[in-house]
Structure 1
Amino acid sequence: MFSFDDSEDPIAAAIAPPENESPQERQLRILKEHTAKQVSDGIDEEITRERQQAKRESKPVKILLLGQSESGKSTTLKNFQLMCEPKTFRAERASWRAIIQFNMIRSVCVILDALARDLNPTDLPPSPHSSWSSRDSLHPDADLLALHARLLPLLQIEDVLAQRLAGPDAHNVPDSALTSTHLPMTTRRRPGKEVAVNSTVAWKSAFMRKPTGHESFDTQNVVDWDDPDDPGAALHAHSDDIRRLWGHPMVRQILARQGIRLQEQPGFFLDEIEAVTAPRYVPTDDHILRARLKTLGVSEHRMRLADPNGSITRQFHIFDVGGQRSMRPKWVPYFDDVDAIIFLSPISAFDQVLVEDHRVNRLADSLELWTSIVSNKLLEDTNMILFLNKVDIMQSKLASGIQLVDYCPAYGRRPNDFDSASRFLKKQFSAILKQSSPAPRIFYCPLTNVIDTKSTTYVLAGIKANLMHFNLKESYLIM
């Protein structure tokens, strides 16, 4: 029979009292052991409490925001934050102030590039949507030439902001360096790609300073008004010239000839020059919603939301997933255990092409992407919510005479008005859901303009209530 000798036990030997231990040493050893046991017991109790708390709390509601790039995903997320976490919005105003100023400077730079291209067609590549050629060139007058020269310093400010956003290790900062030339309107500037920040980089802290202990947390306190690289002073100094540039009739003609529609681009603020270039400008909620900052990667946002009666709260995990073509294969890992997908289709883009591939129409790409999502068997039990977004821009396009049938032949001879067009597109997406979904689903499809805070709040409040009810029912917390 197997016997065990305690004298051979290494653990027993390690914890045994030392030989010739004095009474004082024994008392000190027992005190230390008692203290260590209290600490160990406290850790065990904390682990037990956390496990019990996790059991009491139902699982969080997981939502994915999907859609092609510039479909409105980030703006939808900001609407969720504005509705559910207004204090977070207040804390981030200083950071979004810099983004909005950056958006305005980029719009000015687009105009400067267009003017340089018009004067010297071979100096810069054509814009992607342009059928313009050198024969169509308009020759800017002396006033426009002078405006162009005075606004050139904004190109350097654009570079400074881009570097602060992207960080010192970034490789996507546009090449905006100026070189001397005898041509009065040639910047010799190669328009770069849109600046993007990684979702894991804390870019917001780059434009804020921490208030001192004696200051209340207010946007006026966290903006570093004395920062020598702050663009506010330069924008204010150039505000009159920016206003004259944007209001110049020849600028509108040159942009139209080159197929550039600034008003339809995200981050357009040239209609609010006076507000954005004010000396101590602080953005409104509406400005933050309209601000454009391209992010790479997947960002997760956690919010605790209450049910309509305020009696039960649930944790919502909202994932903003990049919509670029290169990012789409990376969506699949996030499909696991997802409760709802909010898919955004910018129907105003029916006459546009993908930035990644100018051969692909954006509306056609959106329909194809919707098909791949609703037909995915991993998402068979997932709620699908479709936003037909940017309806305000679509209304404007159709009213201006742009024909939907020219880009979507299936539209046929239907009237070229918004009501007819939106009904047709809603039926197209609905038919895809019925034909491709592995299981029957309810088709929830609001027409949205996610930069309109009031209307979007109603839509998101309805989504929040329905998802909370669905998940509480699944958890048997309600019948």
Structure 2
Amino acid sequence: MPVRVPMRSLDDTDPISLALAPPQDESPDDRQKRILKERVAKQVSDEIDAQLNKERQQAKRQSKPVKILLLGQSESGKSTTLKNFQLMCEPKAFRAERASWRAIIQLNVIRSLRIILEALAAASRSGDPPSPRSSYSSYSSRESIHPDSDLLSLRTRLLPLLEIEDALKRRLATPEADHLHEISSSSATPIPTISTIFRRRTNNEVVVNSSVAWQSAFMRGTDGRESFDTQNAVDWDAEDDPGPALHARSEDMQRLWEHPTVRAILDQQGIRLQESPGFFLDELEVVTSLRYVPTDDHILRARLKTLGVSEHRMHLTDPYNGITREFRFFDVGGQRSMVRFLAEHIISFECANSEDKRARWVPYFDDVEAIIFLAPISAFDQNLAEDRSVNRLADSVELWTAITSNQLLQKTNIVLFLNKIDILQAKLASGIRFADFLPTYGLRPNDYDSVSKYLRKQFNGIMKRSSPSPRIFYCHLTHVTDPKSTAYILAGIKDMLMRSHLKESRLIL
């Protein structure tokens, strides 16, 4: 017969005491088992608490991560700069995603093809006057250029390839895209809600949310291996793989791109695909080959438009003392309203009615060690896609002024990349006059050395006039799709930030 254990009096109104009290009919054996079980549970709990306390103490002893913010308008080269950092500092991780970039390059090819086919359709409509996208064209706006029967036949054969874009979009669409936020500026036009991985298509370009891990949609599992053959990461036999279809029409696409009438029509409409990120038309034979795998150079040139802010963590080692630090890069999507909102409000905490926004964004932008600001100086003759009345170079100057004049950023290192110098050189050499778009340039020579020197001086002058306190002007003339020259610049920036961070941590003198 079970022995009744005496019970202490309980307050019937105390649910915690009732829950912790032993059963009224508990036997001595059950009591021993319960006590042993409680001891084991307490031991496990104590071990967890000790481990958490140990981790907290280690976190206190370690230096804070180095936070770097990448800023610049859309197509300024932020994502390419980040890819260069990954290639330089974490090459294994960079190349592990090689298979996924194959699909993005295929998307780039289809987007370029779509632009050409739409330009041909516009030119074939009789009586339609050309509508230049830029102020420069070597053809008179009164000329009428129409595609011949050969071009129209090529267009008909290539139109089915445009369906590849929808197939790739279906593979990119993942459930994780639903966990997103709506961000809006209280003082201006609201920033669009990002509710799906594809918010919209701007100029026939796929737009994805930067927080979604889209790479996994195009890669087979690696089974936890540190290294693997990229060929094995691609599902070559997938029914929806666009590779065979692109290969079958590769010669037609090459004929289309090399046709002199196509070049004339594009030029008349102010379309310069060679200057666009994700331009692969000169390498169609390579990128449409069967079992094509992107090179590092192709990945750097691949274009995937993103919205939102993405965080990328890397561990970089100081070559002088072997100390490793965590670097966190925050890539701000180039949408104009987003960039301006961050530059003018989030960082400076000056936005009215922005308590919720501060709480959401402060973890990203608190204690920013450095800002890498990219200004695409080749875009001096182009206008913003978001606002055709605003010159792209003027927009970069306006944003640069907002950043350098910010009171809370006066101690933050700001590194300026005057980017896309290769395209700038080509434009000036072709006869496009810089002074036609920036009258303040005056009668200075229309060559790269003179123009780049002028722009460097102008950006430096803005910093000197607007900065709340004196600061060093770090400026580089860059072509971030050139991995060799960019790696040299980024290595210098990494060492500068590493040593600056170690000095603040008092780890070096």
User: Same fold, TM exceeding 0.5?
Assistant: yes
| One of 326, 329, 347 as aligned partner of 1:315 | 326
Q: Does 1:354 align with 2:361?
A: no
Q: What pairs up with 1:206-225 in 2 under 5 angstroms?
A: 206-211=217-222, 217-225=228-236
Distance of aligned partners of 1:192 and 1:259 in 2 relative to their CA distance in 1, 3 Å threshold? closer
Report % sequence identity. Answer: 68
Shift of residue 247, structure 1, vs aligned partner: 1.0
The match for 1:444 is 474
The match for 2:152 is 145
Distance of aligned partners of 1:434 and 1:192 in 2 relative to their CA distance in 1, 3 Å threshold? closer
CA contact (8 A) 2:379 2:392 kept: yes
Distance of aligned partners of 1:18 and 1:258 in 2 relative to their CA distance in 1, 3 Å threshold? closer
The match for 1:113 is 118
Q: Does 1:54 align with 2:59?
A: yes
Shift of residue 21, structure 1, vs aligned partner: 4.4
Q: Return the alpha-carbon distance in structure 2 between the equivalents of residues 192 and 354 of structure 1.
A: 12
Q: Which range moves more in the overlay, 228-237 or 192-201?
A: 192-201
Q: Return the alpha-carbon distance in structure 2 between the equivalents of residues 135 and 470 of structure 1.
A: 59
Q: Return the alpha-carbon distance in structure 2 between the equivalents of residues 443 and 128 of structure 1.
A: 35
Deviations 1:322-367 (A, max 9, x none): 1211212145244421110000000000111111111111111111
Q: Return the alpha-carbon distance in structure 1 between the equivalents of residues 31 and 280 of structure 2.
A: 77
SS at match of 2:431: coil
CA contact (8 A) 2:417 2:475 kept: yes
Letter in 1 for 2:143: D
The match for 1:186 is none
Q: Return the alpha-carbon distance in structure 1 between the equivalents of residues 366 and 430 of structure 2.
A: 44
CA contact (8 A) 2:130 2:141 kept: no
Q: Which range moves more in the overlay, 401-410 or 333-342?
A: 333-342
Q: Which range moves more in the overlay, 132-141 or 455-464?
A: 132-141
Q: Does 1:271 align with 2:282?
A: yes
The match for 2:37 is 32
SS at match of 2:325: strand
The match for 2:143 is 136
Distance of aligned partners of 1:338 and 1:67 in 2 relative to their CA distance in 1, 3 Å threshold? same
Q: Return the alpha-carbon distance in structure 2 between the equivalents of residues 105 and 193 of structure 1.
A: 10
SS at match of 1:460: helix
Deviations 1:11-31 (A, max 9, x none): 667545555643322321221
Shift of residue 164, structure 1, vs aligned partner: 3.3
The match for 1:460 is 490
Q: Return the alpha-carbon distance in structure 1 between the equivalents of residues 257 and 308 of structure 2.
A: 34
Q: Which range moves more in the overlay, 334-343 or 202-211?
A: 202-211
CA contact (8 A) 1:335 1:378 kept: no
Q: Return the alpha-carbon distance in structure 1 between the equivalents of residues 499 and 162 of structure 2.
A: 51
Q: What pairs up with 1:45-444 in 2 under 5 angstroms?
A: 45-120=50-125, 126=131, 128-129=133-134, 135-166=142-173, 169=196, 172=199, 192-211=203-222, 217-309=228-320, 311-328=322-339, 329-330=341-342, 332=346, 333=361, 334-444=364-474
Q: Return the alpha-carbon distance in structure 2 between the equivalents of residues 455 and 464 of structure 1.
A: 14
The match for 2:5 is none
CA contact (8 A) 1:118 1:134 kept: no
Distance of aligned partners of 1:166 and 1:408 in 2 relative to their CA distance in 1, 3 Å threshold? farther
Distance of aligned partners of 1:18 and 1:124 in 2 relative to their CA distance in 1, 3 Å threshold? farther
| One of 23, 28, 37 as aligned partner of 1:23 | 28
Distance of aligned partners of 1:213 and 1:47 in 2 relative to their CA distance in 1, 3 Å threshold? closer
Q: Return the alpha-carbon distance in structure 1 between the equivalents of residues 112 and 449 of structure 2.
A: 32
Shift of residue 135, structure 1, vs aligned partner: 4.7
Q: Return the alpha-carbon distance in structure 2 between the equivalents of residues 374 and 206 of structure 1.
A: 40
The match for 2:357 is none
Q: Return the alpha-carbon distance in structure 2 between the equivalents of residues 213 and 244 of structure 1.
A: 44
| One of 470, 474, 479 as aligned partner of 2:500 | 470
Letter in 1 for 2:133: P
Distance of aligned partners of 1:162 and 1:17 in 2 relative to their CA distance in 1, 3 Å threshold? closer
Distance of aligned partners of 1:266 and 1:45 in 2 relative to their CA distance in 1, 3 Å threshold? same
Deviations 1:181-239 (A, max 9, x none): xxxxxxxxxx9542100112222122222256999732111111111211110110011
Q: TM-score scaled by structure 2?
A: 0.85
Q: Which range moves more in the overlay, 83-92 or 120-129?
A: 120-129
Q: Return the alpha-carbon distance in structure 1 between the equivalents of residues 233 and 254 of structure 2.
A: 29
Q: Return the alpha-carbon distance in structure 2 between the equivalents of residues 425 and 55 of structure 1.
A: 44
Letter in 2 for 1:405: A
Q: Which range moves more in the overlay, 335-344 or 198-207?
A: 198-207
Q: Return the alpha-carbon distance in structure 1 between the equivalents of residues 487 and 120 of structure 2.
A: 40
The match for 2:188 is none
SS at match of 1:152: helix
Q: Return the alpha-carbon distance in structure 2 between the equivalents of residues 26 and 364 of structure 1.
A: 79
The match for 1:185 is none
Shift of residue 127, structure 1, vs aligned partner: 5.5
Q: Which range moves more in the overlay, 204-213 or 7-16?
A: 7-16
Q: Return the alpha-carbon distance in structure 1 between the equivalents of residues 490 and 227 of structure 2.
A: 32
Distance of aligned partners of 1:92 and 1:162 in 2 relative to their CA distance in 1, 3 Å threshold? same
Letter in 1 for 2:317: A
- What root-mean-square deviation, in Å, do the aligned CA atoms of Structure 1 and Structure 2 show? 2.4
Structure 1: stretches of 5+ with no match in the other structure: 1-5, 175-190
Shift of residue 109, structure 1, vs aligned partner: 1.3
Letter in 1 for 2:63: S
Q: TM-score scaled by structure 1?
A: 0.90
Distance of aligned partners of 1:13 and 1:153 in 2 relative to their CA distance in 1, 3 Å threshold? closer
Q: Does 1:41 align with 2:37?
A: no
Q: Return the alpha-carbon distance in structure 2 between the equivalents of residues 239 and 339 of structure 1.
A: 47
Q: Return the alpha-carbon distance in structure 1 between the equivalents of residues 437 and 66 of structure 2.
A: 38
Q: Return the alpha-carbon distance in structure 2 between the equivalents of residues 232 and 455 of structure 1.
A: 32
CA contact (8 A) 1:71 1:344 kept: yes
Q: Which range moves more in the overlay, 162-171 or 416-425?
A: 162-171
SS at match of 1:340: strand
In the alignment of these two chains, the number of paired residues is 458
